[in-house]
Amino acid sequence: MEKINIKTAERIELVDITADVQNIVSKKKIKDGACLVFCPHTTAGLTINENADPAVRSDMISAFCKLIPVNAGYEHSEGNSDSHIKSSLFGASLTVFVEGGQLALGTWQGIFFCESDGPRSREVWIKVMQ
């Protein structure tokens, strides 16, 4: 298992980690298989979405903030219940096929770390299997 370290700068942020994941895949020299990507945090998650136009990221953040506001009378005493909800909607893991030593993503797709309770220092765990 390999780890990617991420330092987020905003409370809610989508960080493109595609190149970091691909670097790990390349280092493993596995031509065909699967890459498992796991987020070990309860207030962050992962998603695959468009990485060509940065407006998609800002639109997603805006929509999530409208759907799940920060202060909506939650019971959780730490004040980050919205972050736990956002994390559950994104999900904690992804599986991406590896073909010819490359992540098998669509033309416009990228892998994003989804911070919901930053800024923080975070990790993403990667396992590449043949």
The span from the CA of 71 to the CA of 96, in Å, is 35
What's residue 77's pLDDT? 85
Query: pLDDT band for position 13 (50/70/90)?
Result: very high
- Cα 68 vs. chain centroid, distance in angstroms? 18
What's residue 71's pLDDT? 85
Strand partners, 122: 6
Residues listed for the chain: 130
The span from the CA of 42 to the CA of 62, in Å, is 21
What's residue 114's pLDDT? 98
In the three-class reduction of DSSP (H, G, I as helix; E, B as strand; rest coil), residue 78 is classed as coil
Cβ atoms within 10 Å of 63's Cβ, excluding its own: 10
* pTM for the whole structure: 0.95
The span from the CA of 40 to the CA of 38, in Å, is 6
Per-residue pLDDT of 28-84, as tens digits, reads 999 999 999 999 999 999 999 999 999 999 999 999 999 999 988 899 988 899 999
